[in-house]
Amino acid sequence: MLHPPGPNGLYDPAYEHDACGVSFVVDLHGRATHDLVSKAVGSLCHLEHRGASGADVDTGDGAGILIQVPDAFYREVVDFDLPEAGTYATGIAFLPSDPNAAELTRTQIAEIAKTEQLSVIGWRTVPVDPSPLGRAARAAMPSFSQVFVAGDHEELSGLDLERRVFVLRKRIEHEIGDDDGRSSVYFPSLSSKTIVYKGMLTTPQLDE
């Protein structure tokens, strides 16, 4: 039987806790294919027992998938020019459901990005189909906007860009909110390498 290591530096096993069910499907050569995504969704559906739902069986406590940034796909669906792959970061923002509040939040995000020497290249409205969702999920559903950001005065890539957008995401989530300190925006991810699609879903609803 394996035992966790004892306290060491900043690590303390007292802080260990169980996590949600997680599955990994990878291509050892880094090839990005739709088949890989399909297998990942199928694997996720086999983890349905790790999720939870209440009286509203069509509202789950959350399901999602992390994939490589599909650069070619995004170039087909956005109405603005994207810089070279790896020199921009993207993520899906959960914004207020009120259109005016959502637009104000997008403006605030662009302003914070400027202070981090980043520039918002553009926004994409993410197509969604809420029809399979339960009442509780629909009642809490935000609006979804995908942001694309890059270096403002210089081309950034790799860890330089990842560090910069990590700080941007944290600042956005801590600085944009209501008078009670509750954030009005959330990013499942903001990265030049990967993107997360997630929601208040049961596992079979994610593919839809």
Q: Which residues are catalytic?
A: 20
Q: How far apart are CA 40 and CA 26, in angstroms?
A: 9
Task: Report residue 106 as tokens.
Answer: 């997008």
Rounded Cα–Cα distance for residues 113 and 150 (Å): 9
- Tell me which residue has tokens 């997630």: 198
Half-sphere exposure of 156 (CA within 13 A, CB side): 21
If 0-12 CB within 10 Å is exposed, 13-18 middle and 19+ buried, where does residue 37 land? middle
The count of other CB atoms within 10 Å of the CB of residue 84 is: 10
Residue-by-residue DSSP string for 161-207: HHHHHHHHHHHHHHHSB-TTS-BS-B-S--BSSEEEEEES--HHHHH
